[in-house]
Amino acid sequence: MSDKEQKKQKIKWSYLDIHKRVYKTIFGKGIKPYVVMILVFFAFSFAGIINSAASGEIAYIDSRYGAGAVNTEDVNAVMDYSMTLPGIRDLPDNVKEDVVKPEVFNIVISHSWLLNLLAMNHEYVVRNMGEVFAFLVIVMALVEFTSFFIKKTLAIGQYRFMMENRFQKNVKIRRIFAPFRNKNLLHIIKVMFIYDLVSTLWWFTIIGGIYKSFQYYFVPYLLAEDPTIGWLKARKISMQMTRGYKFKMFLTQLTFFYTSFISAIPFADLLVCTPLNTFTDIEMYYLLRERTDIDRSAFVENVFDGDAYVDISKEYRTDETPSYVLGDYVIKGSGFDKADKYKLTDFVVMFFVFCFVGWLWEVAYHIVSDHEFVNRGFMYGPWLPIYGVGGAGIIFILGRYKKNKLKLFILTMLLCGIMEYLTSFVLEFFTNKAYWTYFDMSFNLNGRVCLAGLLAFAIGGFFGIYILGPLIKRKLEKLGKKRTKILCIVLTSIFAIDLICCLTIGPNQGKGVGGDYDTVATRVAIEESSQ
């Protein structure tokens, strides 16, 4: 094709065809692909990686099950101090009340863990309010700066997962991590940093920001297809792809105007609108990817040159996974589908690792929420056996189901629920103390287990089976058999001494550990009578 002919090339752009293909890809492949897709959208919305109108409902869930207590006096003290700072105190009262105060409030609440940590020494907070405020601002800036680029980077994984949904019926969730294999993570962070920086600078010109947002529109998608592509090349190809089609892209997005009204319905945005908007962008990417008058060196996936799954006749469709150039993210010494083989010493060390991690989590939670150190659990050492038994037990019993992710998730919730319920019952029966209660949580069973906790345990179980278990195994192999045995003997001996102390002089009854059974029962009765 000559240069003159290439310049005349036109892409057949049908708004109706785009609509049909988007709807078929989302809703026309069956219930399982749709549910998996929504779970991915939910996870990325929950983490703040993608924005949607469902973020409000998701933020409520997050605050309902994840936020710690905040001391109102400390919050008000920080806000009052901020109003006395130079540059703020001279502002009009309406600006301070309507603009500055809400922003300061958001900073304090979103980083309440730091304020609570500093407030463990209340005299220090009162004496050094300026330093406390500076800490909050600096930490906020660092956290927001870091999380912004991390979120933008992880979004590439979501793009990849959704892009592959166009060409197959069932996409493995692990494909989210495919772009980050072979040490591509730092490169993706670099490209996305430049992409966001340049885009932000263009927005200062307003008109330039609008124009460049369409010119650079497909940089993330190019990066999802070829994670090794550089910024300059990705920008160049995106500009070539969108040349002459920016207004059509705008009009295509405009044809989905009704999603703005649907998104007002709780969770409708997550279930309908966000998928529609996402796959509209993907359809436009693949449509303009067909251009032959541009640099096509970044289009490395031959699969992406084929027809969409929904466009293939049913008799020719296959559920086999296409052969992608970008392979799966590989966990050294393990896999996503094959069960791992462990030794007895591996499980012993896993037990203590999970015990310690659980203890750290519980102690950190009470430092943030109650402003005090509490040695959690009925034992005196830095370990919580329920986490150790649960973590090692999940790997031992359920590791064989690595290939069936849904079955593994359900069985993990069930196993953890049984273990937590029985442990709570046994501890309460023999000590007359409630070491934990979930009466204030929705969907709880006698205050011993709750749905939010079981979901968290299931996610933790996945982390143990796919990441932590294989990691511990590799570290012990490097340590050697002899040293591993010595480590197991030492840890087991110390644990046995601690257990003997609990049985002879009584379990740990430190401040904040559990609550008397009568006290808990009375509170529950009061709560039930008030409902």
Confidence of residue 510 (pLDDT cuts 50, 70, 90): low
Q: What is the rounded distance in angstroms from the CA atom of residue 18 to the CA atom of residue 10?
A: 16
Q: Which of 154-168, 409-423, 428-442 has the highest average model confidence (pLDDT)?
A: 154-168
Q: Which long-range contacts (CB under 8 A, 24 or more apart) does 179-182 make?
A: 179/223, 179/224, 179/227, 179/326, 180/227, 180/329, 181/227, 181/326, 181/327, 181/328, 181/329, 181/330
Is residue 2 predicted with pLDDT exceeding 50? no
As a whole number, mean pLDDT of residues 149-164 equals 89
As a whole number, mean pLDDT of residues 348-372 equals 82
Pair 243, 363 in one domain: no
pLDDT score at 52: 55
Q: Is residue 95 domain-resident?
A: no
Q: Is residue 232 domain-resident?
A: yes
Pair 181, 250 in one domain: yes
How many residues can be counted in the chain? 531
Residue scoring higher pLDDT (109 or 511): 109
Pair 299, 438 in one domain: no
As a whole number, mean pLDDT of residues 125-142 equals 82
pLDDT score at 369: 64
Three-state secondary structure string covering 139-195: HHHHHHHHHHHHHHHHHHHHHHHHHHHCCCCCCCHHHHHHHHCCCCHHHHHHHHHHH
pLDDT digits (tens, 9 = 90+) for 223-278: 999 999 999 999 999 999 999 999 999 999 999 999 888 888 878 888 999 999 99
Pair 297, 367 in one domain: no
Pairing of strands 449-450, 444-445: antiparallel
Residue scoring higher pLDDT (133 or 121): 133
Q: Is residue 329 domain-resident?
A: no
Among 316, 331, 365, residue at a domain's last position: 316
Is residue 459 predicted with pLDDT exceeding 60? yes
Pair 355, 249 in one domain: no
Domain membership of residue 421 as a residue range: 344-530
461-500 as b/e: b if 16+ CB within 10 A: bbebbbebbbbbbeebeeeeeeebeebbeebeeebeebbe
Is residue 3 predicted with pLDDT exceeding 60? no
Residue scoring higher pLDDT (219 or 400): 219
Confidence of residue 296 (pLDDT cuts 50, 70, 90): very high
Q: Are 82 and 88 in contact (CB under 8 A)?
A: yes
Pair 311, 362 in one domain: no
Pair 255, 363 in one domain: no
Pair 185, 244 in one domain: yes
Is residue 135 predicted with pLDDT exceeding 80? yes
Among 316, 336, 369, residue at a domain's last position: 316
Q: Phi/psi of residue 275, each to 5°?
A: -60, -40
Beta bridge partner(s), residue 422? none
pLDDT digits (tens, 9 = 90+) for 303-348: 999 889 988 888 888 888 889 999 888 776 677 777 788 988 999 9
Pair 409, 288 in one domain: no
Pair 404, 499 in one domain: yes
Q: Is residue 120 domain-resident?
A: no
Q: Are 160 and 200 in contact (CB under 8 A)?
A: no
Where are the extended beta strands (E) located within 346-423? none
User: For residue 9, what are the contacts with CB-CB under 8 A and spacing of at least 6?
Assistant: 1, 291, 292, 293
pLDDT digits (tens, 9 = 90+) for 174-200: 899 899 887 888 899 999 999 999 999
Helix or strand (DSSP H, E) at 282: helix 274-288
pLDDT score at 13: 92
User: For residue 290, what are the contacts with CB-CB under 8 A and spacing of at least 6?
Assistant: 11
pLDDT score at 62: 43
Percent of the chain with pLDDT over 90: 32
CB atoms within 10 A of CB 526: 9
Pair 465, 359 in one domain: yes
pLDDT score at 212: 95
Chain Cα centroid distance, residue 318: 32
Pair 360, 296 in one domain: no
Q: Is residue 104 domain-resident?
A: no
Confidence of residue 514 (pLDDT cuts 50, 70, 90): low
pLDDT score at 71: 67
The structure tokens listed for 81 are 């101090």
Q: Is the overall model pTM greater than 0.75, yes or no? A: no
Q: Which of 119-123, 291-295, 358-362 has the highest average model confidence (pLDDT)?
A: 291-295
pLDDT score at 371: 63
Q: Is residue 308 domain-resident?
A: yes
What value does the mean pLDDT of the chain take?
A: 83
Q: Is residue 456 domain-resident?
A: yes
- For the chain, helix, strand, coil in percent to 5 are 70, 0, 30
Q: Is residue 304 domain-resident?
A: yes
Is residue 481 predicted with pLDDT exceeding 50? yes
Reference 476, options 381, 384, 355, 340; nearest CA is 340
Confidence of residue 78 (pLDDT cuts 50, 70, 90): confident
pLDDT digits (tens, 9 = 90+) for 415-426: 888 888 888 888
Is residue 111 predicted with pLDDT exceeding 90? no
The structure tokens listed for 164 are 């592959």
Q: What is the rounded distance in angstroms from the CA atom of residue 342 to the CA atom of residue 424?
A: 29
Confidence of residue 201 (pLDDT cuts 50, 70, 90): very high
Domain count, the chain: 2
Q: What is the rounded distance in angstroms from the CA atom of residue 47 to the CA atom of residue 185?
A: 18
Reference 17, options 307, 318, 239, 271; nearest CA is 307
